[in-house]
Structure 1
């Protein structure tokens, strides 16, 4: 048995229409499906909802639920805001910069470009407060991923024992740290 791919990833949204309009305008996703019912099919509990599906490319689907009868959505206060996010791949750095300029032109605050060595990213928030990342591969990605692959198990084992960041891949952000210094 093996998982084929992610069928969809679902998040909650504040406003279904606003969410669809934002993702179609800001990230050029296609709105592919809406489902609305008064009862949850899996639990049978009465709870009206709108379930939206957006095409994020290559069979990847991003979904949202608007739940008008539930308390206002919040977030896990014990998890830093930078942790929970969804990342989408774009073709290259030129396209990443193009998205950054498009988002900023439309009033979205964008953090980055951040150089992670194996890929480069920008970060921003959707109208629901979800953190979104756009990432493009580094031209040296294949070689760099090979280096990381060689140490992944050692890193995991050391982390498991010590709960301190192993130094096997310190080189990943060295360039960026040097630029900040």
Structure 2
């Protein structure tokens, strides 16, 4: 990969729209403990020069990752892509263990936020809920083995090729579902 001319150093930030910047900053701080680290606000968009006042807020998501939001008061009300199911587009954050995942669920439910899960995905478990802007948020913890991750990496190109031809779920990683089923039946 070193021959590639683009040398990425990680995600600088991921930006989403919000309905209210202050409410969003406070919610992510209260619910997920994210620190509000900076903001930019302009009347004209620097990249285009268009007049479109905005507030752009930045939150620390840990390990050098930053989540950002734009409040755009002069634009039409926020919506979502109605052609895409609500479960598809989401923000997923990592937590260190199953115990931390369960503690997070208890904390979030204690704030009167509906939480789905934990859901077992074979190599990770996760919970899901929505922020005040309608963005789906996921907290996930890895539970797979090095061997499982290596096998998934090995079959990834095979799965993509099969999917591209058939548009049906490839069976190369059926063992993941079996792992989840076994634990569900035991637990």
Superposed counterparts of 1:141-156, under 5 Å: 141-156=145-160
Q: CA deviation at 1:144?
A: 1.3
Higher mean C-alpha deviation, range 146-155 or range 28-37: 146-155
Structure 1 segment 27-66 matched on structure 2, within 5 A: 27-66=32-71
Secondary structure of the corresponding residue to residue 149 of structure 1:
helix
**Secondary structure of the structure 2 residue equivalent to 1:70:** coil
**Distance in 1 between residues matched to 2:159 and 2:86, nearest whole Å:** 25
Residue in 1 aligned with 2:29?
24
Structure 1 unaligned residues grouped into runs of 5+: none
Q: TM-score, with normalisation over the residues of structure 1?
A: 0.95
Unaligned runs of 5+ in 2: 1-5
- In structure 2, the residue matched to 1:166 is 170
SS in 2 for 1:12: strand
d(CA) in 2 for partners of 1:2 and 1:84?
27
Cα distance in 2, alignment partners of residues 127 and 109 from structure 1: 12
Query: What displacement does 1:174 show?
Result: 2.6
Contact 1:119–1:141 (CA under 8 A) maintained in structure 2: no
Partner of 2:3: none
Per the TM alignment, residue 175 of structure 1 is displaced from its structure 2 partner at its CA by 4.3
Shift of 1:162: 0.9
User: Is the counterpart of residue 116 in structure 1 residue 141 in structure 2?
Assistant: no
List structure 1 runs of 4+ shifted beyond 6 angstroms: none
Post-superposition offset of 1:141: 3.2
Q: Deviations over 1:33-70 (max 9, x none)?
A: 01111100000000100000000001100000000011
Cα deviations across residues 93-148 of structure 1 (Å, max 9, x unaligned)? 0100110000000011000001111111001000000001000110x332211121
- SS state at 1:151 partner: helix
